[in-house]
Amino acid sequence: MRRSIDCVYSKLGCSVGKIPRSEMGKHIQENLHNHMQLMCQALTNIHRRLNIPANNQLTHSHSLPDRTEPFTPEDRRMVEGIGNGLSHAVNLLHLSDNPSLAIPQAGPHSLDSFCPPDTSLRQLRGAQGSDERFGSERTQIDTELTYTSNPSNNLEGFPRVPFDDEFQSLKSQNLSQDESLARHESALHDMKHKVEYHEKNNAALIKRVKSLENALTELEGRCSNGVYFWRIKSYSKFRNEAESGEVTAIHSPAFYSSCFGYKICIRANLNGVDSARGTHLSIFVHFMQGEYDDILEWPFSGRIMLSVLDQNPTCELRSHVMETLVAKPTLAAFQRPTTPRNHKGFGYMEFLPLSVLDNSSYIRNDTLIIKAQIIGRSE
C-alpha cells in the first residue's frame, strides 16, 4: 500500500495536498522555485511581525526590539514550516556534505524543543547569545546559502529524480563504449600494420621462389648434356588453343648443348604453320642468348636431331618419328642471337601429319613428348 504524506512546505502554503512518498522528491524538484517564494514570504512576515530592522541597520551595538509576548500559533506554524523548508533546502543545496551546517528535519517535537510555548522573544534572544554572535551565525548561513545556490548533482539524503539516474547510467555506458572503441581502433591499426608487413614479406618470398625455380630450371637444362625431353602436358588444351588461333605456338624451357654450351629452346605449332596449318605438326629450334656466348663459335655448325616419341607400353611396338637437321651457317637462325630468343628458327613445318598423331600412342595421358639432341661439329 502506497503511503501519502503532506509536502514539507504545506505549512508555508503549498497546496498540493497529500502525495505518495515516492513522488515527494519529484514534487520538490519541480516546485523548487514556488517553495522558495513561499519561504521568502514567511520570512518576510516574521521579519515584519518581529519589527526586525534592515540588515544595514542591525549592528553589533543594537539588539533586537523588545517583544515580551509569546509566539502565537500562527507564528509557531510559520517557524515550523520555515524549519522544514530550510532543512530540505539545505539538503537540496548539498549542505549535507558539511555536518556543522546541516539543519535537523523538523518533526512533531522539534519546534517545542527549539521554542517552547511560553518562550518570549527576549528569552529567544538570550538563548541565541549576544548580538555579535547572532550576526556572525546569520552571516555564515547567508554565505553558505549563497555559495551553494547552484544546483548540485549529489543530493545526499534527498530522493533522486529517476531521470538523473538514467542519465548517469547512459553517461557511464557511453564512456565505456568510447574506451572500448578506442581499444578496438588501436588493435585494428596494429593488425593493419601486421597485414601490410606480412604481405610485403610474402611478395618478397614469392619473388625469391620464382628466382629459385628459374635457377633450378636453368640447372636442369645445363645438366641435360645436349639431350632434352620436352613433355607437353595438357596436350588437348594446347591443341584446341592452336586450332582456335588463341595460342598458335608454344616454347619449351631453355636447355644447353653442354654445361657451357649453346642455349636452345624448341618451338611447337600443334596445328601447323603456314602451308601446313591444320594438317601437320610443326617443330622448330631457336637459339637463345646464353651465359657463355662470348667463348662459343658462331655461327653454329653442328646437327640437331628432333624426335616425337611413341609411348606405346610395348617397347617392341614403339615407332618414334625422327628427323635430323644440319645447320646452315649462312642462315640467320644459326647466328649469335641479338635478342633473348632468336626470332628466326629452323626446323620442319610438316614434321608429322595430325591424322597420324591423333588417336595414336604418340599421345598418352594427354601428354606429347618431343626429344631434341644437339650434336656439335666436333662430334
Kindly report, residue by residue over 243-266, the tens digit of the pLDDT: 999 999 999 999 999 989 999 999
What is the mean predicted confidence (pLDDT) over 217-245? Answer: 92
For residue 75, the model assigns a pLDDT of 65
Q: How far apart (Å, rounded) are the C-alpha atoms in residues 327 and 306?
A: 13
pLDDT above 90 covers a percentage of the chain that reads 48
For residue 36, the model assigns a pLDDT of 85
What is the mean predicted confidence (pLDDT) over 343-354? Answer: 96
Please indicate whether residue 91 or residue 45 has the higher confidence score (pLDDT). Answer: 45
Give the pLDDT confidence of 292-309 residue by residue, as tens digits.
Answer: 999 999 999 999 999 999
What is the mean predicted confidence (pLDDT) over 63-81? Answer: 60
pTM for the whole structure:
0.50
User: Binning pLDDT at 50, 70 and 90, where does residue 113 land?
Assistant: very low
Distances (CA, A) of 136 to 58, 121, 128, 141, 180: 12, 19, 11, 9, 54
For 22-57, give one letter per residue: b (16+ CB within 10 A) or e.
Answer: eebbbbbbebeeebeebbeebeeeeeeeeeeeeeee
CA angle (238, 241, 246) in 5-degree steps: 135
Give the pLDDT confidence of 132-191 residue by residue, as tens digits.
Answer: 444 454 454 444 444 444 444 444 444 555 678 888 888 889 999 999 999 999 999 999
